[in-house]
Amino acid sequence: MSVDRLNAAWSALLNLFMGRKAVKTVDACALYFAKVVAIDGSKVDVQLDTTEIPSPTSIPLYLGLPSSTVDGIVGSRVLVGFRNGDPSQPYAVAFEFSSDSSLITIGTSSPKEAARKDDAITHGTILFTFVPGSGAASLSVVYTPGDGSGVQSLPAGSGTLTIHELIGAGSSAVKIGG
């Protein structure tokens, strides 16, 4: 038995005999569950689930995506760890996402609501006009784009329409910047 283990055993026995609670040391390489109690930009205040160590404040929230922010996560749960195992450098990661109140913004340049599969689009219209004639009939085609860009008309004979559509409403929980 090493001297350190022997000292620890004697210390534990003395604490037990004296009725003192043993002091738990922080495992600085572990992750601890916590609740977000405040957010300010990319920093959060948390309340750790454990009472063995003090809850850190104003710690970085690492999202894993460059130039990203998150709002509406007060009350959500995160994991708190310590950078390089140093208890003086806490950080938060892996927050619980609630689509009812959370908003993730990826990129900071003019973010817009993200489009998802099956999101509605604003449709344009294609108008076919057939005019019968005694010798030859005519057909005209006029396209009004859904994105509000210029109206297109096909010349007599044949031609190509370039279809322009616009996503009507994207996700209210995720925004993406340019």
Domain boundary assignment for the chain: 26-108, 121-169
Overall pTM surpassing 0.85 (yes/no): no
Rounded Cα gap, residues 85 and 88, in angstroms: 9
Which one, of 117, 109, 114, lies nearest residue 174 by Cα? 114
Rounded Cα gap, residues 78 and 37, in angstroms: 11
How many Å is the Cα radius of gyration of the chain? 31
- Three-state secondary structure call for residue 45: strand
**Residue 34: what pLDDT?**
96
**Residue 2: what pLDDT?**
61
Burial, 95: exposed, middle or buried (Cβ in 10 Å; 0-12, 13-18, 19+)? buried
**Residue 59: what pLDDT?**
97
Buried b (16+ CB within 10 A) or exposed e, 70-87: bebbeebebebbbeeeee
- Check if CATH label 1.10.3470 holds for domain 26-108: no
Dihedral, CA atoms, 143, 145, 151, 155, nearest 10 degrees? -30
- pLDDT tens string for the chain (178 positions)? 566 677 777 777 777 777 666 556 678 899 999 999 999 988 999 999 998 889 999 999 998 888 888 888 999 999 999 999 999 999 999 888 776 778 888 887 888 888 888 888 888 888 888 888 777 777 888 888 888 888 888 877 677 888 888 887 888 888 888 7
**Residue 24: what pLDDT?**
60
**Residue 160: what pLDDT?**
82
Which one, of 98, 53, 100, 99, lies nearest residue 80 by Cα? 53
